[in-house]
């Protein structure tokens, strides 16, 4: 469990850490059984009545479905105070929910990445704001 005191999300309503685990805020349409991330980005299946959408938390862990390694800085508006290159970008599959989410891979030896390996949701510190809070975004790392 990460210490999330004095941390604030860069973009609200994407990450939840109130339960002690870091999880992505998602939504599910109970008409077509489709999950969405971010939760406001609804992409229903054709013919769906688009009713009964509920907020859900994705599991803390998923599987690495695909990845790439970047050797150049993230383009604006993304900003960090520390150098993060090279860094991984992973496509994490949450199998039961049938959704894949892209995010930066952190705290992981990039040479150890393998398709199908278990990954967990975490945060990446970006910068310190004027209130001296650590501004974070979601990220993924290999399960230890």
pLDDT value, residue 101: 97
The answer to whether the peptide bond before residue 138 is cis (omega within 30 degrees of 0) is no
The three-state secondary structure class of 111 is helix
pLDDT in tens, the chain (144 residues): 567 778 888 988 899 998 889 999 999 998 888 898 988 777 777 888 878 889 999 999 999 999 999 999 888 778 888 888 999 999 999 999 999 999 999 999 999 999 999 999 999 999 999 999 999 999 999 998
- Look at residue 94 in the predicted model and tell me its pLDDT: 97
Kindly report, residue by residue over 18-29, the tens digit of the pLDDT. 888 999 999 999
Cα angle: 130, vertex 134, 136; to 5 degrees: 120
What is the distance between the alpha carbons of residues 16 and 26, in angstroms, rounded to a whole number?
10
Q: Rounded to an integer, what distance in angstroms lies between the CA atom of residue 68 and that of residue 104?
A: 10
Cut 0.95: pTM above it: no
| φ and ψ at residue 41, rounded to 5 degrees | -100, 80
Residues in Cβ contact with 3 at an 8 Å cutoff, skipping those fewer than 6 apart: none
Q: Which pLDDT does position 2 carry in this prediction?
A: 64
């Amino acid at each position: 469990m990460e210490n999330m005191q004095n941390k604030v999300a860069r973009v609200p309503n994407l990450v939840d850490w109130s339960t002690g685990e870091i999880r992505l805020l998602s939504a599910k349409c109970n008409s077509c059984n489709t999950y969405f991330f971010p939760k406001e980005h609804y992409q229903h299946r054709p013919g769906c009545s688009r009713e009964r959408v509920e907020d859900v938390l994705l599991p803390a862990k998923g599987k690495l479905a695909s990845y790439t390694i970047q050797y150049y800085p993230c383009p604006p508006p993304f900003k960090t105070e520390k150098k993060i290159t090279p860094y991984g970008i992973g496509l994490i599959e949450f199998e039961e929910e049938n959704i894949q989410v892209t995010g930066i891979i952190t705290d992981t030896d990039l040479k150890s990445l393998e398709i199908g390996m278990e990954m967990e949701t975490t945060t990446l510190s970006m910068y310190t704001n004027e209130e001296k809070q650590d501004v974070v975004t979601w990220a993924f790392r290999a399960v230890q």
